[in-house]
């Protein structure tokens, strides 16, 4: 197990955003966290990434327990891709600057070659290198964000709804790109999504979160066979098939 969380909890002024979540991710695996808005899935990811300071419980990475303050070595091994590609790129920095920054932070060599290679890998050529974010489409921006995460050669990517802000036609492209990159670099993914279909496509195993708790953990095959046991998971599955008034009513009564 490269990453494990035990009894992870995050509290925001009285609200338990994450409550006793435990799960573990194997090396090279793609693990999904599914839930609706406000279920705490993104908060789990931010705690893993070291962006939230006030979590409780235990997080282990590669056998070592993680402190609240991470060292630079951790950030070289675990990188994150954010949900909103319009917000995650600095509006005043070119793609070149965005890619050079992690190289400078981690003091890496051959910067020119690495930047060119990273752009090549995410399917953006040299022509995109000196553009500003406002000169790029949403899909292109997310590719830049992926390149930025991969340029330090991490072992693990934390993906926070990487496609939910994109057009449907672009979503598949970006998901396939991520999948190909994972195979090519032997990466471990932890992916957060509200979309069961996306997680089923990308991940071998997944956990379903509701109101800060992990209600069920299962593998994708079991999900496809419809073997979900928890009532919330079943409703989420039904919801992913389309809108249904009765179903929408049932979400209100479920606690």
Partner 1 sequence: MSGSLRTWLLDEAPHSRGQARAGAFYRQWLAFRQNGLAMLGLSIVLGLVLVAIFAPLLAPYGPSAQDLDFRLQPPSQRHWLGTDELGRDILSRIIYGARITLGIVLLVVATVAPVGLAVGTLAGYFGGWVDAVLMRITDVFLAFPRLILALAFVAALKPGIENAVLAIALTTWPPYARLARAETLVVRKADYIAAVQAQGASGLRIVLRHVAPMCVSSTIVRMTLDMAGIILTAAGLGFLGLGAQPPSPEWGAMISSGRRFLLDQWWVAAMPGIAIFVVSLGFNLLGDGLRDVLDPKRE
Fill in the per-residue mask, 117 to 156: x = in contact with partner 1 (CB under 8 A), - = not in contact: ----------xx-xxx-xx---------x--x---x----
> Residues 59, 252: contact at Cβ < 8 Å?
no
* 158: nearest Cα among 32, 39, 1: 32
Instruction: Select from 96, 153, 179, 230 the one that contacts partner 1 (CB under 8 A).
Output: 96
Helix (H, G, I), strand (E, B) or coil at 90: coil
> Cβ closer to partner 1: 62 or 96?
96
Based on the shown chain and the rule CB under 8 A, indicate whether residue 76 belongs to the binding site for partner 1. yes
Q: Report 46-65 residues binding partner 1 (CB under 8 A).
A: 49-51
Based on the shown chain and the rule CB under 8 A, indicate whether residue 84 belongs to the binding site for partner 1. yes
> Residues 234, 222: contact at Cβ < 8 Å?
no
Based on the shown chain and the rule CB under 8 A, indicate whether residue 82 belongs to the binding site for partner 1. yes
Helix 95-105 vs helix 138-150: angle between axes, to the nearest 10 degrees? 20
Instruction: Select from 88, 142, 171, 233 the one that contacts partner 1 (CB under 8 A).
Output: 88
**CA distances (Å), 20 to each of 9, 68, 172, 215, in order?**
5, 17, 33, 11
| Residue 103: CB minimum distance to partner 1, A | 10
> Cβ closer to partner 1: 150 or 208?
150
> Residues 157, 76: contact at Cβ < 8 Å?
no
In sequence order, the 6+-apart residues with CB closer than 8 A to the CB of 84 are 165
Contacts to partner 1 by CB under 8 A: 49-51, 70, 72, 74-76, 79-80, 82-84, 87-92, 94, 96, 101-102, 105-106, 127-128, 130-132, 134-135, 145, 148, 152
């Amino acid at each position: 197990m490269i990453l494990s969380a035990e009894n992870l909890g995050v509290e925001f002024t009285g609200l338990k955003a994450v409550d006793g979540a435990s799960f573990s991710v194997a090396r090279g695996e793609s693990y999904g966290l599914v839930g609706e808005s406000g279920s705490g899935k993104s908060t789990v990811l931010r705690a893993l990434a070291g962006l939230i300071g006030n979590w409780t419980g235990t997080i282990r990475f590669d056998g070592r327990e993680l402190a609240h303050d991470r060292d630079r070595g951790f950030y070289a091994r675990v990188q994150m891709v954010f949900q909103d590609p319009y917000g995650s790129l600095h509006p005043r920095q070119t793609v070149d600057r965005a890619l050079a920054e992690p190289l400078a932070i981690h003091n890496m060599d051959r910067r020119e070659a690495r930047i060119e290679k990273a752009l090549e890998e995410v399917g953006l050529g040299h022509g995109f290198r000196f553009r500003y974010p406002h000169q790029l489409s949403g899909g292109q921006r997310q590719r830049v964000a992926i390149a930025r995460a991969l340029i330090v050669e991490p072992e693990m990517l934390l993906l926070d709804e990487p496609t939910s802000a994109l057009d449907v036609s672009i979503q598949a492209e970006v998901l396939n790109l991520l999948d190909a990159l994972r195979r090519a670099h032997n990466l471990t993914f932890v992916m957060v999504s509200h979309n069961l279909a996306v997680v089923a496509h990308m991940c071998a195993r997944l956990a379903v979160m509701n109101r800060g708790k992990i209600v069920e953990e299962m593998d994708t095959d079991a999900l496809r066979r419809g073997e979900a046991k928890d009532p919330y998971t079943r409703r989420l599955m039904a919801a992913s098939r389309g809108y249904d008034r009765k179903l929408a009513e049932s979400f209100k009564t479920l606690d």
